[in-house]
Structure 1
């Protein structure tokens, strides 16, 4: 394992690159940001200009990954995909034809992100989910619209506008309640020659704005959770994971309304919660390598509850200056980076004795970091 090179492609490759580095790998990253801390974790990086606005395109991402492969000095053992490929199974298929994928392939991604296939599968399994349909409901009150393959919650809208449905969008009945995610390490080899699954719950919250009322705000590990609810969440994740034949890192997002869990989506890749679930040995990345590349794996270290939260540029567009980034910050943009109003600006982390304390500390750090960034912004 030690020193092996691995390719990573994602909108933001920072989390995967850091986990890979902790696990002893040499990560070579293609992403859309080229943040300071991603460059620090990666052996080399290629930034795909415009990817956040238009998505990844085959020629650009293939050229970047082939260039990284040549620069690595030793043949990469494979390619791990993060966010940015949920709505592009054809692109994933094209990448699989050129690189050894160490993650779920096009068919699995398509099943997870196609509303008809995914919610039809849940119906056959008897797994509760919000009422979902492709056509716009005749009475749109209490319904939301989602983009197929969308992530981060920025694509979710309350139902409004024309009476016809839009391409690449579907409709779901709005539910209120607590948001949980179950991070899975699935089908991981064990020392006795068997395979095992591990599941970890996180609690999530939104950071609403007028334009993006459902955007993801953050999450915290080891939340206080009723044991029966936790058992139900894990049981659902396990059943759905088996049906999808998932391997390695995956996340299962729920909303719990009146004590009843409803499955919203499955990401057959590491979700945002990987940041708060990983450990100092790169446990999550090691698990991914063990599942897909027969790498070495041993149980991770238990850490204190950890929270992460995303800071958005809600004070207005900003050009980053020479920000003195705190050690608890992440996704640090280089000086001169232009961040549009409302876009993700950076992330914060916090650890504490309890999940509530970790969340409270993360939220207070958001305000501190916001003042710091805007105070050092370029005019």
Structure 2
């Protein structure tokens, strides 16, 4: 119900907190950054220093969530998880009975992120996907290595020479083509897509990270037949996995064939570009867990919207009093140290077309980079 208090935990809780605020909720946020715009959107927050480096740990996370719950004016209705839990089904299972998990459970998370189970399910459902294996290929040419439960593309490596099997990693045949994602809200009762929208994604390669996530844009110019196929596959898989609430389905389209790369059984990076001024994606997510609520029929968004991620590729930086533009997001507080290559901030843009929005967001990256480094502390 609008006006309720809700817990949010994610590596970066900013986009979820802002969506919750737009929907009328009071978000209580635990994340790894404590950015200025996260603090502004949150009714209260806790920062777990070092979580990006070590991952979320059970005791500190539960302690932070308990502290927020005790300090709140009203009991939170539940907990919404964002990024940072993809490889931690045991942690999700530990959180569920304590805070009423409003999202897919640990079993569903494991089904999405265990390569052996996930790609076997895709084969059973006749859904195209890149050739995937747990043991190293005999010929490494054209293969990549991924970390199980990895996100943001920073964990992906090109194979070379004679790769070796490593714990928590698997191998996949590299594909090239356009990258699309279907963002959806799924109802608790039927598992159907109550709303869905496409976004186009791109990478921002660095010298050591060739597949680093660079940004995404809504309302891409997608052939209607392709969009229908992306949606059909997403709905078919959502039902098989018993997904509930917000989820995203990532594809790469090569020679007109959509290959499914992964499913995120949580709000994805596209939340920023797919949500509207009323927070209808968050409203839909919450309604999916309340049998008395009607799930909204998706957000109303007229303009295309893009986000582009700025990384600290000029080198490590300690933030100063940056005069953040209105079109920036993930605004780090003064004295925040950002290591080289790490996400630094986000440029946001809207325009009548996806191409125009993407171009404007990319252009703003250079301005944002100059601004941050100019005001950095020496």
**TM-score bracket for the superposition, by shorter chain length:** over 0.9
3-state SS of paired residue (2:196): strand
Q: What is the aligned partner in structure 2 of residue 51 from structure 1? A: 51
- CA shift, 1:72, in A, is 0.8
Aligned partners of 1:305 and 1:352 also within 8 Å: yes
Distance 1:115 1:262, change over 3 A: same
Whether 2:369 is the aligned partner of 1:375: answer no
Q: What is the aligned partner in structure 2 of residue 366 from structure 1? A: 365
Aligned partners of 2:185 and 2:244 also within 8 Å: yes
- CA shift, 1:321, in A, is 0.6
Q: Deviations over 1:325-350 (max 9, x none)?
A: 00110000001100011000001110
- CA shift, 1:298, in A, is 3.1
User: Take 2:356 and 2:197, find their aligned partners in 1: how far apart are those partners?
Assistant: 19
- CA shift, 1:135, in A, is 0.6
User: Take 1:72 and 1:189, find their aligned partners in 2: how far apart are those partners?
Assistant: 31
User: Take 1:98 and 1:58, find their aligned partners in 2: how far apart are those partners?
Assistant: 12
Q: After the TM superposition, which residues 121-136 of structure 1 pair with which residues of structure 2 at under 5 Å, given as runs? A: 121-136=121-136
Out of 186, 200, 203, the residue aligned to residue 200 of structure 2 is 203
Whether 2:290 is the aligned partner of 1:293: answer yes
Q: Deviations over 1:88-134 (max 9, x none)?
A: 00000000121100001100000000000000000000000000000
Q: Deviations over 1:113-167 (max 9, x none)?
A: 0000000000000000000000111111100000000000000000136642110
- CA shift, 1:195, in A, is 6.9
- CA shift, 1:186, in A, is 1.2
Distance 1:29 1:15, change over 3 A: same
Q: Deviations over 1:221-248 (max 9, x none)?
A: 0000111111111111010111111111
- CA shift, 1:296, in A, is 5.3
3-state SS of paired residue (1:29): strand
User: Take 1:293 and 1:197, find their aligned partners in 2: how far apart are those partners?
Assistant: 14
3-state SS of paired residue (2:289): helix
TM-score (norm 2): 0.97
Where structure 2 has 5 or more consecutive residues not aligned to the other structure, the ranges are: none
Q: Deviations over 1:32-88 (max 9, x none)?
A: 000000000000001011100010000010000000000112110000000000000
Q: What is the aligned partner in structure 1 of residue 33 from structure 2? A: 33
Q: What is the aligned partner in structure 1 of residue 320 from structure 2? A: 321
Q: What is the aligned partner in structure 1 of residue 355 from structure 2? A: 356
Aligned partners of 1:189 and 1:297 also within 8 Å: no
User: Take 1:276 and 1:62, find their aligned partners in 2: how far apart are those partners?
Assistant: 30
Aligned partners of 1:279 and 1:303 also within 8 Å: no
- CA shift, 1:209, in A, is 0.4
Q: What is the aligned partner in structure 2 of residue 100 from structure 1? A: 100
Q: What is the aligned partner in structure 2 of residue 5 from structure 1? A: 5
3-state SS of paired residue (2:346): strand
3-state SS of paired residue (1:34): coil
Aligned partners of 1:311 and 1:347 also within 8 Å: yes
Q: After the TM superposition, which residues 105-184 of structure 1 pair with which residues of structure 2 at under 5 Å, given as runs? A: 105-160=105-160, 163-184=163-184
User: Take 2:44 and 2:109, find their aligned partners in 1: how far apart are those partners?
Assistant: 27
TM-score (norm 1): 0.97
User: Take 1:174 and 1:19, find their aligned partners in 2: how far apart are those partners?
Assistant: 34
Q: What is the aligned partner in structure 1 of residue 231 from structure 2? A: 234
Q: After the TM superposition, which residues 307-346 of structure 1 pair with which residues of structure 2 at under 5 Å, given as runs? A: 307-346=306-345
User: Take 2:169 and 2:237, find their aligned partners in 1: how far apart are those partners?
Assistant: 23
Whether 2:225 is the aligned partner of 1:263: answer no
RMSD: 1.4
Q: How many residues align?
A: 376
User: Take 2:136 and 2:108, find their aligned partners in 1: how far apart are those partners?
Assistant: 26
Where structure 1 has 5 or more consecutive residues not aligned to the other structure, the ranges are: none
Aligned partners of 2:274 and 2:301 also within 8 Å: no
Aligned partners of 1:181 and 1:252 also within 8 Å: yes
